[in-house]
Amino acid sequence: MDDHTPDDSPQDRMAMAALYLESVKARMDPEDFSTLHSAVEEMTRLMAEGNEGFLEAGSAKNFAGDVQREFLVVMAIVSTGRMDHEVVDMPGPDGSAGYAVVTPEVAGDPEALAEIRNQVHTWMTERQAVDDALEGIARASGMDPED
């Protein structure tokens, strides 16, 4: 097994992710690693149960920056069986922080990254419009959209 060959065995993918997490543990702040570890455990539980859902990964303050980036790397390893992904900054249309996990080839291609950024921005803009419309409908119906 090398860094460039996808492996279809879920056990091998989890073993690769566990190995990667050991390297992260050696270099990450213990509190941040605890948050990352909790998120990974929750993700693997949801996957094993075939569920979709929200991750409860500690405080939002701790689940930021390097923790988010490392979480994305682990998800990519588990999903693809590859360890050669790169996490690139992919700010939202409003300038908010965001990331994308891409292959090394895409990471080195500014045009490909621009295309991904455009697709993400289009999707986020459309999603925001739908959310705004639903919130308006809820308010017009006398419902509190926060409930």
Q: Work out the average pLDDT over 43-70.
A: 74
Task: Please tell me what DSSP assigns to residue 64.
Answer: S
Predicted confidence band of residue 64 (pLDDT cuts 50, 70, 90)? confident
> Mind listing the pLDDT tens digit for each residue in 94-112?
888 888 899 999 999 999 9
Residues 6+ apart with CB under 8 A from 106: 112, 113, 116
**Whether the predicted model's global pTM rises above the 0.85 cut:** no
Of 147, 51, 64, the C-alpha closest to 99 is 64
Is the pLDDT assigned to residue 4 strictly greater than 50? no
Are 89 and 98 in contact by the 8 Å Cβ rule? The answer is yes
